Structure 1
């Protein structure tokens, strides 16, 4: 039986942010950390909805919790926040620490099928299945897992959109800050997919690309995307939000179902994220509290 170990706890916005760790089966038995914020209304008799935040390249479970400006709005809305890590840590695979955009800190929220990475790099299962099961099994954490939504930044925005679109409504809504929206057509995604997946780009196209997934989707969706026009990675063609928007419109999703907003002058940083954090929390609250 998997046991959660409490690492630290801090009171904030009348709620509590707690860091936990546990041995993750999905990540090959490695120790995994996550942060969990519970709002003040959470109690043994009151389970609260949860919003999962996926961070970007080089980040950990701490970036969103400490810099995202999410906790105050989440507290006022009575929503829990779950902050997982971005990759397994300490797998000891040759080459996983050579580049900043692949390997440690860059798990790309997929399940690896290349034999070199398949034992450890299974962030898709870690996020969608393992963490909810482990937290629920603890028995003393009042989260209503029937009310989940998901959001993220950059690589984490890619993860949020693809998990939302591929899990057949495990999540009630999804949003993203500067997501890698069409990774099969950008350098970051191509590098990740050819490294982690036995079938490379072709395998990724069917499962791990938000633009490809929205083009085939027929279900109702609730998606919000923000990106900054001064974002260096946007200018370099890593994000491609226009491709995602076009695919959504071609699939007859209107602006009430898929909204993509360009924010003039904003970059890729947490200054950008924190500016629009409250917008995203309130967007998800519409669906989590229904």
Structure 2
């Protein structure tokens, strides 16, 4: 499968578990820059239209981390799932940046910035929830069924994107997500820069705040390592558990003894997440 289109450039093409691991470069209107996005096409995509799992990576990552470290292609090939993994922020010389790893390039936080200078490029929610799926639908034949998952900052992104866009995704899961960025240092630093000092505006990008008024009850699957070095300071999954309990929202929070924040943890359980998502992606609507 190698359709040619004028608004994309394939920059990587590697055989993997009977399918193809590709990386494309395309121009994003939402972000006003060129973006890289990884697309894994399972072998089943040669014969039929397959569902799509979107993966959002964490701080400092690009599209490369997940496709080279998680071992996800094996499970995508087993289940017949297209996997789409975009970069984590806008890129390029014209894109604003900051000192440190937790703001600016590599730290888009999957929101739409409202404050200068960030608002000119940092519109990752618009990109992930609207532009990227439209781009995939235009260029990659698929069944139209979508799921979303992610890790750390990307876990936050997956939860918030699903909660803010009811009906768009069949299922959502996360590894080690920042469940309440309004309450922890990573989120507070990013939100103050991207959104300004009005903390009421921050709540629209906090999964724990969105749970209370969620328009649909997508079951949430969250895996969290008990030996994660960021567990108590940045992640605090007990906040999500409390919010779901108060709202009667389904949550399967699995605390994993001995596991940390790394891709060793993700690789250990990513297969279970594919099974979770396929239960919904394979259903006829």
SS at match of 1:42: helix
CA deviation after TM superposition for structure 1 residue 200, in Å: 4.1
TM-score of the aligned structures, taking structure 1 as reference length:
0.93
Q: 1:41 aligns with which of 44, 47, 62?
A: 44
Which residue matches 2:130?
129
CA deviation after TM superposition for structure 1 residue 2, in Å: 6.8
- Asked whether the 8 Å contact 1:58–1:106 carries over to 2, the reply is yes
Which residue matches 1:82?
84
Which residue matches 1:261?
254
Q: 1:202 aligns with which of 200, 203, 206?
A: 200
**Which ranges in structure 1 are unaligned for 5 or more consecutive residues?**
none
Pair 1:200–1:102, CA change in 2 (3 A): farther
Query: Which structure 1 residue ranges, 4+ long, deviate > 6 Å from structure 2?
Result: none
SS at match of 2:154: helix
**Which ranges in structure 2 are unaligned for 5 or more consecutive residues?**
none
Matched residue count: 279
Pair 1:62–1:93, CA change in 2 (3 A): closer
- Asked whether the 8 Å contact 1:215–1:247 carries over to 2, the reply is yes
TM-score of the aligned structures, taking structure 2 as reference length:
0.94
Pair 1:2–1:114, CA change in 2 (3 A): farther
- Asked whether the 8 Å contact 1:10–1:17 carries over to 2, the reply is yes
Which residue matches 2:263?
270
Cα displacement string for residues 139-185 of structure 1 (whole angstroms, at most 9, x for unaligned residues)? xx22122x000000000000000001110120111000000001000
Q: 2:74 aligns with which of 72, 75, 95?
A: 72
Residue 172, structure 1, aligned to residue 170, structure 2? yes
Q: Distance in 2 between matches of 1:135 and 1:177?
A: 24
Cα displacement string for residues 165-216 of structure 1 (whole angstroms, at most 9, x for unaligned residues)? 11012011100000000100000000010000135432121x2101111122
Which residue matches 1:288?
281
- Asked whether the 8 Å contact 2:57–2:151 carries over to 1, the reply is yes
